[in-house]
């Protein structure tokens, strides 16, 4: 069987990067896999372009690590991802109970990246789909993922790369106001997008933590905007679902 050398090298490079927790440099890849540096360079640039890997400065060196889009190559891969499987158990009934759309998302390269979506037959159609991205400033998911993120470098990078563009008259369009909103989110334990992304929708989101009490994702519930909608009551259900998912991932709730 004839094997394409470039395709084979690309797979080998991805596999090698995936084994490293702290990232690997171009030179390390070239030496470990016995591939010319020029070939490694071209492949890395292509993988970066397709968001399959990410590039970071570590100790003055450029290192490469896996990007979230490596998991979004196909929906079947995501289905086997533990986080998605656990979250589905709570997002599906939540969607049915409120006739709304529920989401699971992570923060990747300063943007909200959607890993799972559940639509109720009676829910309003949303534009976000599996693998799609949205800004952190106009989404409840973005606010939650930023508010509980303890890595200042990740937060600062996201703020610097975000364009605070007004999607509606309710969108937060400045960093100072956004930071004030994040403080509010931390205090109440959930975030709200009240017609900030689109005028006809309202969204409530809550954080998911792992066994190290580190935020790794967030879930949200999107419903049609209504003045009669009890956001505080809705947030209780979203927060509880997020807490149950966190507990299944090893999170232990702090007792007050």
Say which CATH superfamily domain 75-248 falls into.
Answer: GAF domain (3.30.450.40)
112 pLDDT band, cuts 50/70/90, is very high
Helix axes 82-98, 231-248, angle to 10 degrees: 150
Question: CA torsion 175→178→183→187, rounded to 10°?
Answer: -170
State both tokens at 6: 């470039």
Mean of per-residue pLDDT scores for the chain? 87
- Taking alpha carbons only, the member of 143, 93, 151, 145 closest to residue 115 is 145
The pairing of beta strand 111-119 with beta strand 215-224: unpaired
Structural domain boundaries of the chain? Answer: 5-66, 75-248
101-108 sheet: strands from edge to edge: 133-134, 111-119, 101-108, 215-224, 201-209, 191-194
Q: CATH number for the 5-66 domain, one of 3.30.2130.10, 3.30.420.10, 3.40.50.2020, 1.10.10.10?
A: 1.10.10.10
Instruction: Give pLDDT tens digits for 183-210.
Output: 999 999 999 999 998 888 899 999 999 8
Instruction: Give pLDDT tens digits for 14-42.
Output: 989 988 877 899 999 999 999 999 999 99
Cβ 109 vs Cβ 72: under 8 Å: no
């Amino acid at each position: 069987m004839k094997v394409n050398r470039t395709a084979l090298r690309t797979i080998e490079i991805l596999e090698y990067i995936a084994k490293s927790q702290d990232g690997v440099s171009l030179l390390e890849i070239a030496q470990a896999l016995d591939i010319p540096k020029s070939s490694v360079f071209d492949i890395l640039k292509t993988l970066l372009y397709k968001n399959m890997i990410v590039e970071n400065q570590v100790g003055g060196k450029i290192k490469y690590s896996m990007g979230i889009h490596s998991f979004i190559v196909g929906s079947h891969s995501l289905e086997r991802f533990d986080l998605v499987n656990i979250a589905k158990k709570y997002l599906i009934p939540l969607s049915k109970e409120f006739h709304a759309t529920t989401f699971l998302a992570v923060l990747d390269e300063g943007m909200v990246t959607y890993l799972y979506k559940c639509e109720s037959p009676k829910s309003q159609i949303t534009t976000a789909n599996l693998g799609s991205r949205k800004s952190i400033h106009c989404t409840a998911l973005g606010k939650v993922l930023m508010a509980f993120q303890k890595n200042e470098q990740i937060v600062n990078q996201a703020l610097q790369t975000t364009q605070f563009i007004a999607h509606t008259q309710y969108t937060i369009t400045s960093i100072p106001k956004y930071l004030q909103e994040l403080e509010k989110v931390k205090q109440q334990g959930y975030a709200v997008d009240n017609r900030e992304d689109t005028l006809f929708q309202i969204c409530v989101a809550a954080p998911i933590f792992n066994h190290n009490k580190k935020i790794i994702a967030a879930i949200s519930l999107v419903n049609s905007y209504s003045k009669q909608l009890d956001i505080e009551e809705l947030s209780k259900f979203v927060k509880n679902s997020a807490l149950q998912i966190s507990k299944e991932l090893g999170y232990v709730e702090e007792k007050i």
